[in-house]
Amino acid sequence: MKPTIRDVAKMANVSISTVSRVMNSPESVVESKKQRVLGAIEELKYKPNALARGLISKKTHTLGVVIPDIRNAYYAEIIRGMEDASKKLGYSLIICNTDADRNRLFSYLNTFYEKQVDGLLYTSDAVFPDYYKELKRLRMPVVLVSTHSMEYELPSVKIDDEQAAYDATAFLIEAGHRSIGMISFDLSDSIAGQTRYQGYVRALREHNLEFSKDNVFFIQEYYHDPYVAAESLLRQAPNLTAVFASSDVLAMGLLSYLYEKGIQVPDEISVIGFDNIRVSSLTIPKLTTVAQPMYQIGYRAVEKLDARIGGEADPQLRELVPHEIIVRGSTRRLK
C-alpha cells in the first residue's frame, strides 16, 4: 500500500501540517523537525516527487501542452504562438500527443504533475466531467486552447466557432449560392462539430433557405480519409453548387475528389475551408477559407496561463479571438 502523509507524520512524530510545510516551504520548519520528516519520507518512500517539489524552487518555468493529434497541421501554428510567448515569458514548453485518448491524456497529466510543470495548456478536446475531476485533483493551473467549457469555470481562448461557420455559409449565400453542402465533424464533438454545424444551419435559416439533411456529411471517425468524405457527400448530394468544409484538410480532400471527377472549382462548385493552415495557399485553386488566428490563440493562451500562475485576476474567463474570411480562388459569385 502506498504510504500517506499521515504515515510520514506518524513516523516523524510531527503533525501533518509540518510534513506539508517541509515539502512546500522547508525554510519555515526548524532543522530538527525537518530532518526527521525528510528521514521518514525517505524511509517510507513517500510520494518522492512531492518531496522534490519542496526541495527545489516552486517554479519550474515549464508549461505542459496536451494536444489530441499532432499530425493535424492546425496545431503547428498554435504551437508556434505558444513557443514565442513562452520564450518571452521565460518558459519551456513540453508537448504531449494524447491521440484523443483518455488514458493517454491522464497518463500525461500525471507526468506533467510529476515533472512539476507550472501550468497546463489543454488543447482542442472537450472537458468531460472525469477530466475536470483529474485536473482539479492535480491542482494545476490550466488554460483551455481552441476549446472551452460552459460547465466549468475554466479559462479559455478560442474563436467563436458557431459564428465563424455562420459567416462561411453566409459568404456562400451572399455570393448567390442556394444549394450549399457541408462536411462536418461528428455532432458528438462539442467544440468543432456541433458548433460549426449549428452555424451552418442558422445561416441557412436566417436567409430563408431550406435545410436538407442530405446536404451534410458527418465524419464518423477521428482518423478519416478526406477524399472519401468528399466522395460520400457528393454521392448523397450531387447537385450542390458550394460546399463548406469544416477544415482545410477536408477541403483539400474535396478539391482532390472534384479534380479527379473532372468537376471544375470554382466554376461548377465553390469550396470554402476552415482554419487557414500553411498549405491552404498552395492548393489548386488556392483555398478560400475561414482563418483562425492560430498563432494568436497559442500566444494569448500562454499569456493567460502565465497571469493565472502569477495569481493575477483574469478579467475575461472565456476569451474569444476574431476569425476572418480569406477569399482566394476556390469560391466564385454565381451570376
Residues that bind a copy of itself (CB under 8 A): 26, 31, 34-35, 38-39, 42, 48-49, 51-52, 55-57, 60, 62, 70-73, 75-77, 79-80, 83, 87, 92-97, 99, 104, 107-108, 111, 114-115, 226-227, 249, 252-253, 255-256, 259, 278-279, 281-286
Report in angstroms the alpha-carbon separations of 335 from 107, 173, 174, 204: 56, 12, 12, 20
* CB closer to a copy of itself, 236 vs 256: 256
Q: Tell me how far apart the alpha carbons of residues 187 and 196 are, in angstroms, rounded to a whole number.
A: 9
CB of 40 to a copy of itself, least distance (A): 11
**Identity of the residue, 29 or 170, whose beta carbon is nearer to a copy of itself in the bound complex:** 29
Which runs of consecutive H residues, i.e. helices, occur in the chain?
5-12, 16-24, 31-44, 48-55, 74-89, 102-114, 129-138, 161-174, 194-206, 226-236, 248-260, 294-309
DSSP code per residue over 173-231? HHTT--SEEEEE--TT-TTTTHHHHHHHHHHHHHTTPPP-GGGEEE--SSS--HHHHHH
* DSSP state letter for 278: G
Give the nearest distance from C-beta 333 to a copy of itself in angstroms: 20
Least distance between a copy of itself and beta carbon 122 (Å): 16
Nearer to a copy of itself, 142 or 245 (CB): 245
**How far, in Å, CA of 42 to CA of 85, rounded?**
39
Residue type, 328: R
Q: Do residues 173 and 203 touch, judged by C-beta distance below 8 A?
A: yes
DSSP 311: T
Least distance between a copy of itself and beta carbon 120 (Å): 13
Rounded to a whole number of angstroms, the minimum distance from the CB of residue 97 to a copy of itself is 6
CB of 272 to a copy of itself, least distance (A): 16
Distance in Å, CB of 117 to a copy of itself, minimum: 9
Judged by CB, which is closer to a copy of itself: 56, or 327? 56
Q: Give the list of residues 6+ apart from residue 90 with CB closer than 8 angstroms, or none.
A: 61
Q: Which is nearer to a copy of itself, 144 or 230 (CB)?
A: 230
Distance of CA 150 to the CA centre of its chain: 15
Q: What is the DSSP letter of 133?
A: H
Q: Which is nearer to a copy of itself, 72 or 179 (CB)?
A: 72
Pick between residue 65 and residue 216 the one whose CB is nearest to a copy of itself.
65
Smallest gap from Cβ 79 to a copy of itself, in A, equals 5
Length of the chain in terms of residues written: 335
Which residue number, 75 or 166, has a Cβ lying nearer to a copy of itself?
75
